[in-house]
Chain A
Amino acid sequence: MGIDVAQRGLGSQRPPTFTVARATALAVIVVLATAVWLIAADGPQAWAQSSVNGLVSGSYYALGAVGLTLVYGILRLVNFAHGDMLTLGAYVAVGLTTGLGTPYPVGVAGGVLATAAVGLFLEQRLFRPMRTRRAGTLQLILITIGLAFLIRNAIQFAVGSSPRAVAVDVTSTIEIAGIRIGTTEAIVVVVGLAAIAAVAALLRWTTLGKQMRALADDLQLAEATGIDTDRIITCTWLLAGGLAGLAGGLLAAAAGAITPVTGSFILLNLFAAVILGGIGDPRGALLGGLALGVVQEWSTLELGSRWKLAVGFALLILVLVARPQGILGKARTI
């Protein structure tokens, strides 16, 4: 039980010599060798710029992945609707800003409230009843896929599929040592990293966070020790929903425009970040997101940007096949 890695079939006879230390050393060597090769091939300036771009897009992935990893780690639920929750938050933020003329951060706050409310509603009306009926993994996955279709297309039905501009400054840039980063992008990265740190701190030090981790370890055991599991799960959905809205609002600002598929388009990247870093851990989502972003941007130096997404997914598959518990993950972890 737990989120141990059930290795089945022929693979379970994997030789035990491939240790964590070796794997880490191998990964570091591969990363350094790639970096040296890229610097030699494309010059230090291009390499540094693409690394920074990678860290920026990696922070976006991490921000989008935090809510996903909480639900995945604590509730064992693979939420395919998470990307569309992001989109919903972004549309609320943009709608409040352009419709009511509120400043963009206030719009984002509205988006956070809206998606947190959606999370609460889904938990109370859908997922709690399904839990009492002991619904299976596939049953829940398909429900979230249905929700994804419903949310995405309800947005398209309501506002159409043409891109909506976000009322933020996307032209001004900061330049340090010849490396450029957009001002809005920089703000989004800082706020995003702060949000990830806050979630990590909440899990680490608060009672609520400790109870969440207890649930992630063993729901029955947590219940037996007197934890009000329904309350903790409700809090998890509120938090995950709110984080989806925050990510949506921030990513919309960084991109400058949104469409109804903004969130679903990056969903697989978010899964990749979650799985690369190790499920359930915000630090894992950060590490996985940054690794994914950097690898994708580095790949554009040699292959061009057309192959970026494919390279990211190939990384996901490689890591899953070689090390299914992720970079940070142990066999059992939150």
Chain B
Amino acid sequence: MTALAALTVAPSGALQAFVSPDFWIGVGVLAAIYGVFTLGLQLNVGNTGIVNFGQAGFMAIGAFSMAILVVKLGWPFGIALAAATAITVLAGVLVALPTLRLREDYFAIVTLALAEIIRYTAQNARGLTGGNQGLLGFDGAWVNVASGVADDLDRLAGLRSGRPDLLPLLVVAWTLLLVLAAWLSALQRTPWGRVLRAIREDEDAARALGKNPFAYKLQSVAIAAAMGGFAGYLLALQLIHLSADSFQPQFTFIGYTILVLGGLGSYAGVVGGSVVIWALLEATRFVDLPLSDERIAALRFMLIGTILIAVMVVRPHGLFGKREEMHLGS
């Protein structure tokens, strides 16, 4: 009783943060963005056995293509989204065509290098991407729709967020995440999905059955690239201001942390893993530690590193993963 009284009389900043809707809206948006991003990794790593370290690059291609089409060429937002998705899928195919035959560790390094080339290009091609200043003003159509939705949510349900467009973005991002997760899970149960897993388990056996592993892997990378593109659009809308700096390789590695925490092969695990990781990461912002922002940022990444190592050492099939679905190459 006294403890409860103490909490209500002098609520600490930390506890207040955990019950504030804005905290959970922020976590929800980030979890959905990274969730969509990681669904693509799950398709590649968990269900095809391809170690794709270049997902942040595909995300950058999607986000920048959309923003450039809207800002520089004046295309309508919806058409730009469709075109940017086509560009991202094409990029996935172009990347995969020469590299898929490489050994898995080489493929990992090459895709990481490609993602870095894409990031440097976004940084240096100033006329197109705005360089270090980045791009602004690609989200006019979205903000119009979002403010209408935000008003409706406020009027009908009494829901509102500190930044008005975040609540609509949360709804859109989670709808997209759940629809894509359900679609990919359904794909796993089709003959196509079974061939992917056969390739993951034994490529030669799949070939002996008359399947062309290369074609299936190519499709796997192309779909993963599209997921990266979708995550890129969501990220762009969340950031408002799009710059190359947002596509550092650590984005991909946070994706891998979510992936292994959720468990390889499980799309539901991606959704759960993303929520857990982002609740943890955002919590470090709200807990009142007597530390500088820089140290708190360092702590966040130390947390990521620790989770990655701990899961791989203690429970390599992940929190929600099945042991028989684990494929880590050997």
Contacts and interface: CB of A to CB of B under 8 A. Distances in A.
Given A138-B45, A143-B312, A147-B305, A321 B329 contact: no
Specify which of A139, A160, A272, A307 lies most central, judged by the most chain B CB atoms within 10 Å of its CB.
A139
Interface residues of B, number: 52
B298 A153 contact: yes
* Chain A contact residues: helix, strand, loop or mixed: helix
A141 B309 CA distance: 10
Interface string B294-320: 110111011011111100110010000
B308 A137 contact: no
Nearest to A134: B330
A231 interface: no
Interface string A121-159: 000001001100011111101110111111011101100
A257 interface: no
B308 A9 contact: no
Contacts of A314: 117
Contact of A324 (B106, B256, B328): B106
A320 interface: yes
Contacts of B150: none
B313 A130 contact: yes
A202 to B, nearest CB: 25
Contact of A149 (B98, B100, B117, B308): B308
Nearest to B330: A136
B298 A156 contact: yes
Nearest to A157: B298
A137 B105 contact: yes
A152 B112 contact: no
Given A12-B101, A153-B299, A313-B116, A142 B305 contact: no
B24 interface: no
B329 A307 contact: no
Contacts, number: 149
Contacts of B262: none
A293 B139 CA distance: 42
Interface residues of A, number: 49
A309 B114 CA distance: 11
A93 interface: no
A310 B121 contact: yes
B110 A320 contact: yes
B101 A142 contact: no
Given A149-B302, A271-B109, A9 B213 contact: yes
A309 B104 CA distance: 23
Nearest to B254: A149
B328 A135 contact: yes
A9 B104 CA distance: 13
Nearest to B329: A137
Interface of B: 45, 51, 98-106, 108-110, 112-114, 116-117, 120-121, 123-124, 203, 213-214, 217, 250, 253, 256, 260, 292, 294-295, 297-299, 301-302, 304-309, 312-313, 316, 327-330
Given A161-B298, A306-B120, 19 more contacts: A9-B213, A9-B214, A139-B312, A142-B260, A143-B309, A143-B312, A145-B253, A145-B256, A146-B308, A146-B309, A153-B299, A157-B299, A268-B109, A275-B109, A306-B124, A310-B116, A310-B124, A317-B114, A324-B103
21 contacts: A78-B105, A137-B329, A137-B330, A141-B105, A142-B308, A142-B312, A146-B308, A146-B312, A149-B308, A150-B302, A156-B295, A156-B297, A268-B116, A271-B113, A275-B106, A275-B109, A310-B117, A310-B124, A313-B113, A313-B117, A321-B99
